[in-house]
Structure 1
């Protein structure tokens, strides 16, 4: 595939050259080394949170401050809770360690694998319109992809039961990133890295989270509409939901203002990695840039089925055992481009994500009337920081309780 080096970093980036060992660590995490399948129980929870106001909200605020002060914890965290009126914003730490600026709901950030929910939104809208079917196959829609993959369906791609090998784990792909992290990939050729590999298992027989799945979803959407995926996002998702600060770039630069993402590996000081990697290497699987405000709007519309029909929504919510990456709060189960999180205080639907410098959770009640977003300015997952992930999941569950009122539903 054609590969074009990107220009030298801008002076405002302040990222500098990264030590090779630390870069390798973040790339291993980007590759999704920890593919979680099956039932994941809720971690032991910290202090219980009650309603979104009063003691529950104060308890959650204390937990965010404790998370930021934890060794290896994020330099900043922001939580947006919305029940129908004005959103409530809780935050701790800062958006920029150099200036001390606080995080704002309008700050840009890398949304990581929550971008997979966007590809789900595009695909399910096309299903509703009849341009695609959940049983549409790779062989019929994308005949140039490997013949061994031809029986994989859109449904299996959306719920990660396809068996497609994960291109982001491919040694050649990782080597190219290590050699030039800001390299611009042709995102429509990412699956070439694994085109000579067989399926990992018979399609539909098991769950395994794969970044290849959502690349294939976007390519199928392009094939049946003959429109670029970026245009489909604007027409199907951004405009209907009024997402004004959301985009899918191919480069490494972040739009201003943005919360800076950091690699936090004590005893070394936090290192700004906001613009270390090009988004082209993850594209429809994790390349979108957005803000907490836009993500709140997105998940409220997406979880409620506003972008599709009741019939398609029923298909989306056929749950199987499987966890998002990183695991979300409570018990995780997978649907089509969405996950169900069963917590001690009730059920929310959404997605998580992690990328060097950022960790995300977006979730809403099935009717979309109550929502939460949780954004951290460092990467947290089972491969890098398993202890911190369990602590984060407890905080996320307490945020759900703050949203839903702190009692079991």
Structure 2
């Protein structure tokens, strides 16, 4: 397998047995939200709120963060990044660094839209869990009840798809797919075409046997949402997920549309291997696994919402019983990290990251401190085998939450 097509696996906790997606301001303070029920099984126990989980964001700490972000940007060659950190009683930190457009020198700013890649998975799985709450689908239903032609479809459950334990081959690892994508990055893909790239490969293991991150799983869950709801996935997410939460600056694009103002994106996942601007690439190849767009303030609201199942006004988005299942999982191969139903826990931080050509993001919530961290950047080019969003997440949390450092191993060499 080529190195480039292996990198297209990325988009969340990309290490060892995991491959992640790389295709691709509302109000509502996190302070009003309760801690989530349950915790992702492989993550460390979440302490009760003690007030000492996050450092006071004093001017000195903010200067330290400024210097650290600039250092990582310089070392990793990141053109632009926006960082937002909010706590109920330790202050907040919102900064943009660098440029949004290298050709014009336009500065990065907190109001820009960016593509969020695999963070889309949290929205797709939320849509599914809403339908489960309504009794219209069951997590232990097998996928063949909704989609025909799936290898092992009579054995793979919706729970296993959402928890990355289906054994289905990840379509974005297919070399033919990579060649088609990079030869014409603006071409559209249908969900059926994406599944075709997966289903021509044998299954990797029996359902439920182990964890292996596959974008194929989310394409199938997107089709389940459409069949059960009787509506296009983008429409259901807009009205039944984004609407109740009040996310007016988050969208599921149909093609390569991109609201303004947005940042340009810089990637080396190209046919030539040279760095290109990917802002006008079509993210349909990520669909339910990675096509969505958002901004800093919306992701600030989404982080505690998805981690707790509760709306910013205190209402319920996902019932406590189903939310507990979302946040519970068998162990993964990564020390200190667990993956639930479309969501991870890394050293106590709950959420997801995203990566697709030109863009990366990290949106996480620390229940013990009711702290939210959002990082948005306009490149996906690896630095020393790691995604730049992971490098930034590690550097930032090492300063502000030293007992809960968002640390993941570097991506292994291509097979």
TM-score range, shorter chain: 0.7 to 0.9
Aligned to 1:65: 70
Query: Over aligned residue pairs, what C-alpha RMSD do you find?
Result: 3.3
CA deviations over 1:137-175 (Å, ceiling 9, x no partner) = 111122x23353321111111110111111111233222
1:236 aligns with 2:246: no
Instruction: Give the drift of 1:206.
Output: 0.3
Task: Supply the distance in 2 between the matched residues of 1:177 and 1:399 (Cα, whole angstroms).
Answer: 39
Task: Supply the distance in 1 between the matched residues of 2:250 and 2:111 (Cα, whole angstroms).
Answer: 11
Secondary structure of 1:56's counterpart equals: helix
Instruction: Give the drift of 1:25.
Output: 6.5
CA deviations over 1:265-302 (Å, ceiling 9, x no partner) = 9xxxx945233531111111111011111111111211
Aligned to 1:315: 325
Contact 1:138 1:152 in 2 (8 A): yes
Aligned to 1:154: 158
Task: Supply the distance in 2 between the matched residues of 1:403 and 1:56 (Cα, whole angstroms).
Answer: 16
Aligned to 1:362: 363
1:207 aligns with 2:217: no
Secondary structure of 2:107's counterpart equals: coil
Mapping of residues 325-336 of structure 1, within 5 Å: 331-336=336-341
Contact 1:118 1:233 in 2 (8 A): yes
Aligned to 2:109: 104
Q: Could you tell me which of 191, 202, 221 is aligned with 2:225?
A: 221
Aligned to 1:123: 128
Secondary structure of 1:94's counterpart equals: strand
Mapping of residues 238-277 of structure 1, within 5 Å: 238-263=242-267, 271-275=275-279, 277=281
Q: Could you tell me which of 160, 168, 189 is aligned with 1:164?
A: 168
Mapping of residues 330-349 of structure 1, within 5 Å: 331-342=336-347, 347-349=348-350
Contact 2:137 2:228 in 1 (8 A): yes
Mapping of residues 347-386 of structure 1, within 5 Å: 347-366=348-367, 369-381=370-382, 385-386=385-386
Q: Could you tell me which of 16, 19, 42 is aligned with 1:36?
A: 16
Q: Which runs of 4+ in 1 moved over 4 A?
A: 24-28, 38-41, 84-87, 387-390, 402-405
Task: Supply the distance in 1 between the matched residues of 2:222 and 2:257 (Cα, whole angstroms).
Answer: 23
Q: Could you tell me which of 295, 308, 315 is aligned with 2:299?
A: 295
Secondary structure of 2:102's counterpart equals: coil
Seen in structure 2, the aligned counterparts of structure 1 residues 224 and 400 have a Cα distance that, compared at 3 Å, is farther
Aligned to 2:413: none
- Report 1 or 2 for greater relative contact order, CA contacts < 8 Å, sequence distance ≥ 6: 2
Task: Supply the distance in 2 between the matched residues of 1:83 and 1:177 (Cα, whole angstroms).
Answer: 41
1:81 aligns with 2:81: no
Seen in structure 2, the aligned counterparts of structure 1 residues 37 and 300 have a Cα distance that, compared at 3 Å, is same
Q: How many residues align?
A: 362
Contact 2:375 2:389 in 1 (8 A): no
CA deviations over 1:85-124 (Å, ceiling 9, x no partner) = 8953123212222333332222111101111111111111
Contact 2:5 2:175 in 1 (8 A): no
Aligned to 1:183: 187
Aligned to 1:51: 56
Instruction: Give the drift of 1:54.
Output: 3.1
Q: Which runs of 5+ in 1 are unaligned?
A: 1-23, 42-48
Contact 2:268 2:276 in 1 (8 A): no
Instruction: Give the drift of 1:64.
Output: 0.6
Task: Supply the distance in 2 between the matched residues of 1:258 and 1:368 (Cα, whole angstroms).
Answer: 31
